[in-house]
Structure 1
Amino acid sequence: MIDHTGISVVDFEAAKTFYDKAMAPLGASLLYMVPIEYTGGEKVGGYGRDRPVFWLHEAKVPGPGRHYAFGATSRADVDAFHKAALAAGGKDNGGPGLRPHYHEHYYAAFVFDPDGNNIEAVCHRPG
C-alpha cells in the first residue's frame, strides 16, 4: 500500500553521500532531484531501483517532517482520500491534482495528519 516515503535531513550533501553508498549494494541509487522551483529552494532527491521510492528532503531540523505516500488505484480514490482526510481533521497540504514535474500522470493530494506528518495519496495511471 505504501507508494514511497521520505525523511528530513539537515545536511543534504552528507546524507546524499551516505545514501549513495548505502543504497548501492541494494541496486538503488539517486534517480531524481526535484527542481528547486517546486521545493521552496530546498534540496529534495529520490532513491530507488526503477523509480524513486525513498526521498531525502533538506530541512533545518531533522523530523518531524515525515512523509508517507499511499498508492491509489484511481484519481477518484485520490480525491476521496483528500476529502475524507480533511473531514477527519487533517490540514490541507495540496489538493488533488497533477504534479507533472514528477511525471506526466502523477496525480496526488497531500494532507498533514494531527501529528504533522505529510500524508499523500498518489495514482500513477493516466486519467
Structure 2
Amino acid sequence: MIDHMGFSPADLEDARRFYDAALKPLGVANVMEVTPEQTGGYHGIGYGAGRKPFFWLSSDSRRDVPEGPRGTGIHIAFEAESRAAVDAFYAAAIAHGGRDNGPPGIRPHYHPAYYAAFVIDPDGVNVEAVCQRPE
C-alpha cells in the first residue's frame, strides 16, 4: 500500500499557496512542516485530512542524483509491516541498482516511531519504505 507521495515543485511557496487553496474544499490541509535543519537538507510541507500527511511538497531532497534523469523530484513511500521489512527493502533495493538516500532508521522529526529507509531508483525517483508502528 502507498503510505504517502510527493514532488518537488519549481517554487515551493507558489505551490504552497496553490495547494492550500485548492485542497481546502476537499478537507485536506497542511498538517505538518519539516525544516532543512530537521531533515538534513530539504524543506517539506505535508498535507492530510487528519494528523497524518499523505501528500508532500518539498524542496529538492536529492543528495547525489545527477541532473537530468527521468523521474527526479518525485517521491513515493510504501507502507511496511515491520522495521525488518524496511531493512529488507533497503538491502534489496541497494543490491539491485538503487542508491542510498537515507539508510534504515528512526526519523523523529516526523514522529517517534517513524522508521524508514530511502533509495534513489535507476530513474532518479526517491523511493521510501516506512513502518510507522512502534516496535
Same fold (TM over 0.5): yes
Deviations 1:26-58 (A, max 9, x none): 111011110220345543100011111100012
Q: Is the 8 A contact 2:72 2:126 kept in 1?
A: no
Equivalenced residue count is 125
Higher strand fraction: Structure 1 or Structure 2?
1
User: How far apart, CA to CA, are the structure 1 residues paired with 2:79 and 2:41?
Assistant: 27
Give every structure 1 segment of 4 or more consecutive aligned residues whose post-TM-superposition deviation is greater than 2 Å: 38-43
Backbone CA RMSD of aligned residues: 1.6
Q: Is the 8 A contact 2:31 2:46 kept in 1?
A: yes
Q: Per the alignment, in what secondary structure is the counterpart of residue 125 of structure 1?
A: coil
> Which residue in the other structure is 1:14 paired with?
14
**Runs of 5+ in structure 1 lacking a partner?**
none
Are 1:114 and 2:90 matched, yes or no?
Answer: no
> Which residue in the other structure is 1:103 paired with?
111
Q: For structure 1, which segment, 76-85 or 5-14, has the greater mean C-alpha deviation from structure 2 after superposition? A: 5-14
With the length of structure 2 as denominator, give the TM-score of the two structures. 0.87
Residue 70 of structure 1: which of 78, 97, 110 is its match?
A: 78
> Which residue in the other structure is 2:28 paired with?
28
**Runs of 5+ in structure 2 lacking a partner?**
61-66
Q: Per the alignment, in what secondary structure is the counterpart of residue 10 of structure 1?
A: coil
Deviations 1:42-94 (A, max 9, x none): 431000111111000124x9x62110000000000000000000111100111
Are 1:89 and 2:89 matched, yes or no?
Answer: no
With the length of structure 1 as denominator, give the TM-score of the two structures. 0.92
Q: Is the 8 A contact 2:36 2:43 kept in 1?
A: yes
Residue 88 of structure 2: which of 70, 80, 83 is its match?
A: 80
Q: Is the 8 A contact 2:39 2:109 kept in 1?
A: no
Q: Is the 8 A contact 2:33 2:44 kept in 1?
A: yes
Q: Is the 8 A contact 2:114 2:132 kept in 1?
A: yes
User: How far apart, CA to CA, are the structure 1 residues paired with 2:134 and 2:103?
Assistant: 18
> Which residue in the other structure is 1:53 paired with?
54
> Which residue in the other structure is 2:64 paired with?
none
